[in-house]
Amino acid sequence: MDEAAQKQPRRRRSKQERRRIVEESFEPGVSVARLARAHEVNANQIFHWRKLYREGLLEDEPSQAAAQWLPVRLSDVAAAEPRQAQQRAPAAGAIEVELARGRVRIEGAPDAGALRLVLELLGA
């Protein structure tokens, strides 16, 4: 390895850039080795990024614009229910997360992206 190559710091690529390279690698007829050379990365790195991509780990971070609070209206209906009714078993197809600050209950089939965002915002 020559001296000039040793002095160059490692390049850190953003998730967007890694995702773009991975999506380019999925195009028909694209050689990962050639793509790696074109982007000055190791081919094994692209295969690792492809794995992360399939696992959904190259998605953008939830931005402040995407993380919006929704208005909530509290009612006394829950307080009026008997304590036994409040502690009933979760219905089929329900997700219930109990945190120190309260409880989140999602019934039905939630969108995976929306559920991930809610859990990230709650710090679960």
Domain range for 97 is 77-122
My answer on whether 118 and 82 are in the same domain is yes
Q: Is residue 65 part of a domain?
A: no
* % of residues, the chain, pLDDT over 70: 63
My answer on whether 50 and 83 are in the same domain is no
Q: Is the dihedral of CA 13, 17, 23, 27 positive or negative?
A: negative
Residue-wise pLDDT tens digits, 42-57: 999 999 999 999 988 8
Do the beta carbons of residue 17 and residue 25 sit within 8 Å? no
Task: Work out the burial of residue 40: count CB atoms within 10 Å of its CB; fewer than 13 is exposed, 13-18 middle, 19 or more buried.
Answer: exposed
Helices (H), 1-124: 3-7, 15-25, 32-38, 43-54, 77-80, 83-86, 112-122
Reduced to 3 states (helix: H, G, I; strand: E, B; else coil), residue 24 is: helix
My answer on whether 87 and 50 are in the same domain is no
Q: Is residue 34 part of a domain?
A: yes
Global pTM reads 0.46
Residue-wise pLDDT tens digits, 14-29: 999 999 999 999 999 9
Residue-wise pLDDT tens digits, 46-95: 999 999 999 888 887 655 445 566 676 766 655 555 555 556 555 567 77
